[in-house]
């Protein structure tokens, strides 16, 4: 697995596809997703565990990734994983921005930030905590709610992000039906938070 200290034109890519962003602030926007392979966070409820082993996925140049993205009309690129910050993303994001794309990052924040970003969605995980330096740079904090104890855990990170950062609570998909009533009551009592749903799963799109 490549260190993220050295900028690279070549990255392991599990998949790339054109879709509708289903979560968070950009929910409902057409977007080109670039899912990088490799993850050392290891969430038990992860729905893309096949992304964890980078050696099982092809290495692609940043230029080839962007050529595929440019075929589609939207100019919003979402870099996700896996954990994308395992790699230095300076080259990929610079070329994307030069091609007119907004660059959005989805990260657990467990590795140093690299790349040029228009929007950073930080989604901390208990299995490997985010770096404080990334907390201060996040535009959006998305906390996954798996159990009732996660509300207290979410508040810990709400205190670490900057005052302009948007705060989202999102139920873990397999427990959404059970947790949503509590989540709704929590947001009603604590209106600094918003609810994020995985609408792409309800719509049955990638």
Residue ranges per domain, the chain?
A: 10-203
Q: What pairing do the DSSP bridges indicate for beta strands 10-20 and 30-36?
A: antiparallel
Decide if pLDDT at 4 tops 70: no
Percent of the chain clearing pLDDT 70 (strictly above): 96
Compute the distance between CA of residue 94 and CA of residue 199 in angstroms, rounded to an integer. Answer: 30
Mean local confidence (pLDDT), 137-153: 96
| Pair of tokens at residue 186 | 């929590």
Fold category of 10-203 in CATH: TIM Barrel (3.20.20)
- Sequence-distant contacts of 40-45: CB under 8 A, at least 24 apart: 40/1, 40/83, 40/86, 40/110, 40/128, 41/83, 41/108, 41/110, 41/125, 41/127, 41/128, 42/127, 42/128, 43/125, 43/127, 44/127, 45/144, 45/146, 45/172, 45/173, 45/174
The candidate with the shortest Cα–Cα distance to 187, out of 165, 204, 171, is 171
For all residues of the chain together, what is the average pLDDT?
Answer: 93
Distance separating alpha carbons of residues 53 and 40, to the nearest angstrom: 9
The answer to whether residue 5 scores a pLDDT higher than 50 is: no
- For residue 179, pLDDT beyond 50: yes
- Across residues 152-175, what is the average pLDDT? 96
- Alpha-carbon distance values, 137 to 8, 118, 119 (Å): 23, 11, 9
Q: How confident is the model at residue 3 (pLDDT cuts 50, 70, 90)?
A: low
pLDDT tops 80 at residue 35: yes
Per-residue model confidence (pLDDT) at position 85 = 97
Looking up tokens 């950009």 gives: 26
Looking at 87-149, list the stretches that DSSP marks H as alpha helix, in order from N- to C-terminal side.
Answer: 90-98, 132-135
| Mean pLDDT to the nearest integer, 58-73 | 97
pLDDT digits (tens, 9 = 90+) for 80-108: 999 999 999 999 999 999 999 999 999 99
- Taking 90 as the threshold, does the pLDDT of residue 7 lie above it? no
| % pLDDT > 90, the chain | 82
Q: Is the pLDDT reported for residue 2 higher than 80? A: no
Residue 107's contacts (CB-CB under 8 Å, 6 or more residues apart) are 81, 83, 84, 85, 113, 120, 121, 122, 123, 130, 134
pLDDT for residue 138 is more than 80? yes
């Amino acid at each position: 697995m490549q260190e993220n200290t050295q900028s690279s034109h070549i990255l392991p890519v599990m998949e790339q596809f054109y879709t509708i962003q289903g979560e968070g602030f950009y929910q409902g926007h057409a977007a080109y997703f670039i899912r990088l392979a490799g993850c050392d966070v290891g969430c038990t409820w992860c729905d893309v565990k096949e992304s964890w082993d980078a050696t099982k996925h092809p290495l692609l140049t940043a230029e080839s990734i962007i050529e595929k993205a440019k075929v589609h009309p939207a100019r919003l690129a979402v870099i996700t994983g896996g954990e994308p910050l395992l790699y230095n993303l300076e080259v990929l994001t610079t070329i994307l921005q030069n091609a007119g794309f907004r660059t959005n990052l989805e990260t657990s924040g467990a590795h140093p930030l690299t790349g040029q970003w228009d929007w950073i969605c930080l989604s901390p995980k208990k299995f490997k905590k985010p770096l404080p330096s990334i907390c201060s740079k996040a535009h959006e904090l998305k906390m996954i709610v798996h159990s009732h104890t996660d509300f207290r855990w979410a508040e810990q990170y709400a205190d670490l992000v900057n005052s302009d950062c948007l705060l989202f609570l999102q139920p873990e998909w397999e427990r959404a039906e059970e947790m949503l009533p509590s989540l709704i009551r929590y947001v009603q009592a604590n209106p600094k938070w918003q609810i994020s749903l995985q609408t792409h799963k309800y719509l049955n799109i990638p």
